[in-house]
Structure 1
Amino acid sequence: MRPNARRTTLADIAQAAGVSVATVSKVVNGRGEVAPHTRARVQELLHRHDYLAPVLRHPETTGSPTIEVQFKGGLRSYVAEALEGIMDAAAQAGASVVISKATHAPHWARDLVSAGRRAVIAVTSVYTAAHLRELARAGLPLVVLDPLHLPDSRVTSVGATNFAGGLAATQHLLSLGHRRVAYLGGAAMAVCNQARMHGYRAAMEAAGAPVPDGCVRPGEFTYETGVLGAGALLDMAEPPTAVFTGNDEIALGVIETARTRGLRVPEDLSVVGFDDTHLAQMASPPLTTVRQPLREMGGAALRTALRLANGEKTESHHIELATELVLRASTAPPGSGGAPRQPR
């Protein structure tokens, strides 16, 4: 809509649909007593003409703001901890949160506005240019938490210092005396995975430790990637003595594959994760990992979404929070338990 264009009114929609203003009002407010075919025709006209109810045109009058939080895939430990941070921050700010799986059905952004949403937080979800255009038309701000791809300059995002985390994890393994260090990561094109891998490679290069072919393996951020990837690494003629993984779930898969092959962690194989979810502390042995401040990231995303919903500006379109290496029992010098066992 052009800045000076006249806003569409209920009367305009009623005239176009051939119904009364009262009927259109019932549809806008979600009331019954409207025939399904009439409701569908009115809703289509509301979408086509970018109609916003007056109360939604002035967010400051709506009371407690409601933020839509969308995620893709399963509710894994990583997502759950980020959601905890979002909900804690919302409670402190007096805001409400609605959690859903991203579907992007037709008119999804307009439907969110009609339902009273003030902004969207996407947890690792991928948004295309078409999605961004629809959000812009609906006037709905978007904040992406830990983006999978390099965020568009029009998109505000919150992430962590993934490169520094990858660097610290690998330097720790090198400081223990490991030289054959592998990296098992998530999706090859995911920006967070690339940053962690580049941190790994930078540490290896600085130490003069070569990265043999096959020691860098992308996959998904899943336990299954750890199981299968570790199997491939341990089948190498000279298997690695340490593995840095793209997240804690992959690390647990590596530990399980080592166990099934009669290898001990960390005596025969050191393993480092990334995220520091609850899984890291429950692992056997407890997992050395890079702490990604997931709850703090969720809180920052919520506060940023509220600022954008209120029409405020942000200092940067991307916010990064610091990572930290957390030492536990899954790493040790190579061969620390005596002569290394050969994998079965």
Structure 2
Amino acid sequence: MVSGSDRVKLGELADEAGVSLSTVSKVLNGRTDVSAVTRARVEEILDRQGYQRRVGLPNRGSLIELVFPELETAWAMEIIRGVENIARQNGLSVVLTESGDRHSPSADWVVGVVRRRPVGVVLVFSDLAEEAKAQLRSRAIPFVIIDPAGDPAPDVPSVGSANWSGGLMATRHLIELGHTRIAAITGRDDMMCSFARVDGYRSAMNAAGIPVDERFVRFGNFQVDGGREIALELLSGPDRPTAIFAGSDLQALGVIEAARTLGIQIPSELSLVGYDDLQLAQWSSPALTTIHQPLTKMAEEAARLVVRMGEGELESIPRMDLATRLVVRESTAPPQV
């Protein structure tokens, strides 16, 4: 139901846009029977006038929307599990959407989410476009980013993890075993988490007085194929590393495959540390030493935040970084003498 004061304000917005009140209502509710030109004009005026629908509306839906750039990895399953845990506790359902790239969802996604009117939105992206933020806020649809890149905008609620500490712990573990020729394979060079994990690696090496061989620092894609290709290059030379810190468990699986191809035994000839602690890390051969990134917990916290924001409980912009920890299994050992 629209209150009298809201109706008056929307009427003024309709007059300024030169459209009817029903057209403004259609735009606010994500209806598709409005031309793109009219929709853009109304959206611009709504944004400029700072229109904000009140939170806690009685017609709010029963869904939490979870948006991914891709749904193909085991990483995504950990996130889904966490959001579903909180949705179940609150009598809600989860709808999954695949949209955009790793930076942000596609531009047309927001039209659909406005129409679906979820309790809130959890996004696995680096950031949101300004237009998308404005449209979600004007409809009082709260959103939280589970941040894979490590650098969300200051005005975006987010839940992340301590990437630098994870890189530090992984490398320190290898150093304490006696390794000095340690390589680092990280993610894409346009993601802050890739740099944060490598910075942790560099800090551990510098603190131990071990020079970093820049040939051993490689950017990849956090996927199995990237880990395999880079590891084949690193391990084929005569002065190969005795240990590798991989920026994801999937990359680490690629390193294991490359080592098998080259006849290199893990951990007797090569120690390996992954990152994420996905369930598959326990099932690899050998079982993978890794950095536990609390993905399910991150997803639970993000879902809990959107529920609380939807109920009007939070006024400030929440930012949260959860701790990482080392999990030692069978893929690391002292270097051969």
Q: Tell me the TM-score normalized by structure 1.
A: 0.82
* Match runs of 1:198-213 below 5 Å: 198-213=199-214
RMSD of aligned alpha carbons: 3.3
Alignment-derived partner of residue 272 in structure 1: 273
Aligned residue number for residue 244 of structure 2: 243
Q: Residue 254 in 1 paired to residue 255 in 2?
A: yes
Amino acid at match of 2:84: M
Tell me the distance in 1 between the aligned counterparts of 2:130 and 2:150. Answer: 13
Whole-angstrom distance in 1 between the partners of 2:273 and 2:37 = 53
Identity over the aligned pairs, expressed in percent? 38
| CA distance in 2 between partners of 1:248 and 1:27 (Å) | 44
Note if contact 1:149-1:191 (Cα within 8 Å) is conserved in structure 2: yes
For structure 1, the residue ranges without an aligned partner over 5 or more in a row are 340-344
1:65, distance to aligned residue in structure 2 (A): 3.8
Render the CA deviation track for 1:133-190: whole Å, top value 9, x for unaligned. Answer: 4433444322110242511110011111111111111111111110000100101231
Cα distance in 2 for residues equivalent to 1:334 and 1:28? 63
Conserved? CA contact 2:150–2:160, under 8 Å: no
Does structure 1 conserve the Cα–Cα contact (< 8 Å) formed by 2:161 and 2:293?
Answer: yes
Asked if 1:61 corresponds to 2:73, the answer is no
Deviations 1:59-111 (A, max 9, x none): 34136642211011342011111111111111112222211012455554243
Cα separation, 2, equivalents of 1:135 and 1:244: 40
Q: Which residue of 2 aligns with 1:90?
A: 87
Give the total of aligned pairs: 320
Aligned to 1:189: 190
Change in CA separation of 1:242 and 1:25 when aligned onto 2, cut-off 3 Å: closer
Correspondence for 2:42 among 39, 46, 49: 49
Counterpart residue type for residue 305 of structure 2: T
The structure-2 alpha-carbon separation of the partners of 1:26 and 1:144, relative to structure 1 and needing over 3 Å to count, comes to closer
Match of 1:6 in 2: 8
Greater displacement, 112-121 / 243-252: 112-121
| Residue in structure 2 matched with residue 162 of structure 1 by the alignment | 163
Structure-1 separation of matches of 2:289 and 2:244:
11
Aligned partners of 1:153 and 1:317 also within 8 Å:
no
User: What is the rounded CA distance, in whole Å, between the counterparts of 1:89 and 1:194 in structure 2?
Assistant: 31
1:99 aligns with 2:96: yes
Measured in 2, the distance between the counterparts of 1:81 and 1:99 equals 14
SS in 1 for 2:209: coil
Residue 76 of structure 1 is matched in structure 2 by 73
The CA distance in 1 between the partners of 2:230 and 2:97, in whole Å, is 32
Q: Give me the TM-score of the superposition, normalised by structure 2.
A: 0.83
Residue 113 of structure 2 corresponds to which residue in structure 1?
112
SS of the aligned residue for 1:179 comes to coil
Secondary structure in structure 2 of the residue aligned to 1:258: helix
Instruction: Give me the whole-angstrom Cα distance separating, in 2, the residues matched to 1:132 and 1:182.
Output: 40
Deviation at 1:210, TM superposition (A): 1.1
Report the Cα offset of residue 296 of structure 1: 0.6
Task: Give the letter for the 2:10 counterpart.
Answer: T
Measure the CA separation in 1 of the matches of 2:86 and 2:222: 26
| SS in structure 2 at match of 1:173 | helix
For 1:152, the equivalent position in structure 2 comes to 153
Query: In structure 1, what is the Cα distance between the partners aligned to 2:189 and 2:27?
Result: 46
Matching of residue 289 in structure 1 with residue 282 in structure 2: no
CA deviation after TM superposition for structure 1 residue 318, in Å: 1.8
Letter in 2 for 1:267: S
Larger radius of gyration: 1
In structure 2, the gaps of 5 or more residues are 47-52
Instruction: Provide, for residues 38-72 of structure 1, a one-character-per-residue CA deviation record: whole Å limited to 9, x for no partner.
Output: x355x875675359xxxx85634136642211011
Equivalent AA in structure 1 for residue 325 of structure 2 = E
* Contact 1:149 1:189 (C-alpha < 8 Å) held by counterparts: no
Give the secondary structure class of the aligned counterpart of 1:319: strand
